[in-house]
A = this chain, B = another copy of it.
Amino acid sequence: MKSGLHFLLAAKRCEIAELRQLALTAALVDASARLIHELQRERGLSNLYLGSSGQRFGAERLAQIDQSSAADAALRAHFDHLDTEASQLRHGARLFGRIAYVLHGLSALPGLRRQVERGAWTPAQATAAYSRLIAGLLAVIFEAADTASDPDISRLLVGLFNFMQSKEMAGQERATGSALFASGLADEAGQQRLLYLIESQERALEVFAQFAPPEAVVLWQRNDAQSTQAALERMRRILCSSGADGALNPEMSQRWFDTCTERMAAMRAVEAFLSAALRALCEQRREWLEQELQSLSGVRVQDHPAEQTLSFFDEAPHTADAPNHPLGSQLERSVLELVQAQAQRLQAMSAELDTTRASLNERKLVERAKGLLMAQRHLSEAQAHKTLRQLAMNQNRRLVDVAEAVLALADLATGSVHPQTGAAAHK
């Protein structure tokens, strides 16, 4: 008959297998982040090219496409090495589904580039297309952030994911501003979009600062040079407050692009730091667990565990010389203590994990409510976000609470909510 110790050891082995898996996922995150970085730059240069009606930035754009293609090939090689036969893979269905989606996006990339080359698409269309592909890549990383069951690793992943989100918003800001400067005209839709992107960046950076290790936060504060910040803020002001005619100086497009790119490079460095920290943390945890497993494997259990031991029912922590415990049950009790320590650890991990996951969940709720408003009221992303924020301010509630209310209202309208309890009904 399998003993409690046997299952304790099996539990540890599962934890170790999960950490191995996570280390592989961390490498995948890294390869995805590299490709995202190149595509972000390609998007910005494409907008400069389109904004200047193909007059400028053509050579830079072509050189960047080579860079992107190299990162693309590296990520595909990574995908090819994934063990898709291991159907026991944790969250494999979601991860593989995301990858399938990304692969289709990547195969559509040459077509997108041709549209840009020909000037067949507006900068807004090109930005939307690149952003959709990048969103698909970020979704791969989101899946990873949602799978870790070690709270420290999960926190690091949430920090990393939010940092990458803010970097993507910064990249979209660069692309949008590039198109406006290059075209010499700031229209209202573009200005609204910029304001939305700036605010979203800051929100994601706040979450990053909450969840990432302090060293990463300090690194970001140091990397985000004040000179770049000042230059960026000056140009943001010009973009967002240009007069009624919205005229801009096209000569500024290069400076805008360079300043934003400097900031993106600083962000890329922090991202790489977080990614390395993630791999180191997985490795360290795995080593701890391997050691623990080894020392546990040395424990011998009596063939007939002292069944009469009542320490299982003790309220207080066990003391060695408690009465009522027959001699010889010492060993049995120490295994019990290990089992209880493991149970408490899992309990504490689960509590911490809930807090971390809550942040991911809030993000998802806000995104979903925004999507709903966009579809129902034909709003842009920026307008939908503004609507939610306005509602939150008016009602003095958190953004996530308003998002929840918006979604609940929609459920009510479609009749998928139980009229009495207000909870989603069984479908």
Which residues of A line the B interface, CB within 8 A? 1-18, 76, 79-80, 82, 84-101, 103-105, 107-112, 114-115, 128-129, 132-133, 149, 152, 155, 206, 210-214, 305, 307-313, 332, 335-336, 339-340, 342-343, 346, 350-352, 354-355, 359, 361, 364-365, 368, 418, 421, 423-427
Contacts and interface: CB of A to CB of B under 8 A. Distances in A.
Given A11-B93, A101-B340, A426-B213, A84 B2 contact: yes
B364 A313 contact: no
Contact of A342 (B79, B97, B421): B97
A2 B310 contact: no
A339 B10 contact: no
A4 to B, nearest CB: 4
Given A93-B149, A352-B424, 5 more contacts: A1-B80, A13-B92, A15-B93, A110-B308, A354-B365
Given A86-B88, A87-B16, A4 B104 contact: yes
Contact of A8 (B96, B105, B305): B96
User: Looking at A17, A354, A423, which has the most chain B CB atoms within 10 Å of its CB?
Assistant: A423
A86 B17 CA distance: 10
Contacts of A3: 103
A2 to B, nearest CB: 5
Nearest to A339: B100
B354 A361 contact: yes
Contacts of A16: 87
B346 A313 contact: no
Contact of A105 (B76, B132, B312, B424): B312
Contact of A96 (B14, B92, B213, B305): B14
A80 B2 contact: yes
A112 to B, nearest CB: 7
Given A11-B93, A111-B308, A112-B310, A425 B4 contact: no
Contacts of A98: 343, 346
A77 B368 CA distance: 46
B309 A111 contact: yes
A5 B103 CA distance: 9
B355 A424 contact: yes
A61 B206 CA distance: 61
Contacts of A18: 93
Nearest to A333: B104
A104 B331 CA distance: 13
16 contacts: A1-B80, A2-B82, A4-B100, A5-B100, A7-B79, A11-B96, A17-B88, A17-B92, A108-B310, A108-B313, A112-B310, A112-B313, A210-B418, A210-B425, A354-B361, A355-B423
